[in-house]
Amino acid sequence: MTQYVEIPQTILDAIKCGPVPRVRPIEDICADPQTVGERVIAFAGNHLIVADGPLIGEPLILDLYQQVFILSVFDNPYGTRFANLSIGARNGKTALLAVILLAFLIGPLAKQNTSIASGAMSRTQASICFDLMYNTLLMSPDCEGLFRPLASKKQLFGLSKNTRYTALSSDAKTGYGQSLRVIVLDEAGQIRGPTSPFTDMLDSRQGSHDDAIYFKISTQGRSDLDFFSVALDTAERQQDRHTISHVYCADKGADLDDESQWYKANPGLGKFRSLKDLRHLMRQAKQIPAKESEARNQYLNQRVAMEGLAITPSIWKECAGEVDLELFRKGKVSMGLDLSARNDLTAGVLCAEDEEGSVVHTLPFVFCPTSGIEERARRDRAPYDAWVRDGYMLPVGGKTMDFDQIAEALHLELGAMGIQVSEIHYDKAYITHFQAACERVGAFQDAEWIGVPQNFKDMGMRLASLQILLAENRLRHGGHPVLAMAASVAVAKEGREGVSALAKNLSTQRIDPIVALVMAAWPFGDGRNQAEVIDVSSWIG
């Protein structure tokens, strides 16, 4: 009597389109494969050797979720034309991809004189698949003499059936003229928008084959309009019998620390994906909000906009200890300066550290135009009038900022407190006007002026440094209400460089004091041992 493996509910829930296969024990499959899908699984287990990772050197036994996907695709009674697999990062996706392609290159699915390909948006990503396939072949004695590599072009040739595999990328034109029986698009979730010239090219390469299959394998895209999201949603909505679509993801609104949700997005957890490592990453994401979007996308496999609060409210409150003003009189003082000429706030935030160099203390000075404070308070939904009355904000000028008054106020206030600023980190906007005002009133004559490009790379590094100080409870802000207001609404957005920086246009209120703090805290955080580099050409805003 044939026995079958019980498929866990997390895998059943992931099958959004296509049949639910019956899975025999892996020992039975490898001993006596009976279906096309089982022959692919047995090909891996009997003839391929793991080429990297903790299981290197062992037979390539596919995990249960991988077996289910292969059986769904290749044992589909209607035949499969499109196959989607979406899963959290580092769950054996590339290993599965390599097995499928090798089965078409030298294994049970090889067909005479056909070409297959994997595609990726970058050469680096494309080479990952090629490298794993090539290393697997080199590690597998049963494959000796069955293939020939052409590493310079990222190609492999199957010798028995004259098959050819090519790794394609959107930034290289090699192989674009081929007719392809099989395409595996790796990291399809990286494609922004519903289409691209690269995917259009891939779509046109399979018309010559009646048995062509187009695989899309990736973590989720960021939005519903992105290429991979459209493919997944179309499959689930239309339920086309020639399409297989498996999506492993956490429930909407799942908590980052809910380990039961981790398994929904990471069926390879404990084998391909380290549980210890995932716990560490999720702990970081809970502490540093700018990392939450990435964690949800990469590890919970959810669609998320890559933006969120830059500072966790609970962590900010934990750092509300008393500020020691004596530190500003004795040691190095750094000031971050975010200037405004009209409606925004102008903020000069000072930072100094204790004698042990372990805790950074802050001292903010926030200025606003004198005229129309009540109107600005209503517009920005913040009690500016009360803060002015209580001394947390300083009114200057009329309807616009007066840099002479700001420079003089800072000069007098700091002089009365016995504080001398060592260096000023500034946004270039209006800086020449402010420096001229400082010269007129004799302010900051001995300070070093350091320009900070307001781009994702430079400000992203500084934001990350501040977030670490906060997460490690190494910052004291004394509960200053204007600084707290800015911290509570500051939004971080990911840029092209892959780092997150503050986004004024996405924040619901004024965040100028936090922008100033990000710059001021840098010398006492990650910037302690890094030389400042001023790249004027990269400044924005």
**Confidence at residue 73, expressed as pLDDT on a 0 to 100 scale:** 98
- Cβ-count burial of 144 within 10 angstroms (0-12 exposed, 13-18 middle, 19+ buried)? exposed
**Confidence at residue 534, expressed as pLDDT on a 0 to 100 scale:** 42
> Are the C-beta atoms of 256 and 286 separated by less than 8 Å?
yes
The string of pLDDT tens digits covering residues 428-480 is 989 999 999 999 999 999 999 999 999 888 999 999 999 999 999 999 999 99
pLDDT confidence band for 530 (50 / 70 / 90): low
Residues of the chain with CATH 3.40.50.300: 9-248
The string of pLDDT tens digits covering residues 266-300 is 999 988 889 999 999 999 998 887 788 889 999 99
Copy the structure tokens of residue 291: 């990392």
Provide the H-helix boundaries in 15-57: 26-31, 36-47
Mean pLDDT of the chain: 90
pLDDT confidence band for 178 (50 / 70 / 90): confident
Contacts of 221 (CB under 8 A, 6+ apart): 188, 189, 190, 191, 192, 227, 228, 229, 303
Average pLDDT over residues 56-65: 96
Residues of the chain with CATH 3.30.420.280: 314-538
Q: Residue 316 above 50 pLDDT?
A: yes
**Confidence at residue 176, expressed as pLDDT on a 0 to 100 scale:** 56
Q: Residue 539 above 70 pLDDT?
A: no
**Confidence at residue 394, expressed as pLDDT on a 0 to 100 scale:** 92
Query: Is the domain covering 9-248 a CATH 3.40.50.300 domain?
Result: yes
The string of pLDDT tens digits covering residues 225-272 is 788 988 998 889 889 999 999 999 999 889 999 999 999 999 999 888
Query: Strands 423-426 and 448-451: what pairing?
Result: parallel
Give me the CATH topology for the region 314-538.
Answer: Nucleotidyltransferase; domain 5 (3.30.420)
Average pLDDT over residues 2-21: 96
Lowest mean pLDDT among 203-217, 305-319, 322-336, 453-467: 305-319
Strand-pairing partners, residue 396, are: 369
**Confidence at residue 483, expressed as pLDDT on a 0 to 100 scale:** 93
The dihedral sign for the CA sequence 38, 44, 46, 52: negative
Which residues of 143-269 form beta strands (DSSP E)? 147-150, 155-158, 163-169, 180-186, 213-218, 243-247
Query: Measured between alpha carbons, how far is 101 from 406 in angstroms, rounded to an integer?
Result: 67
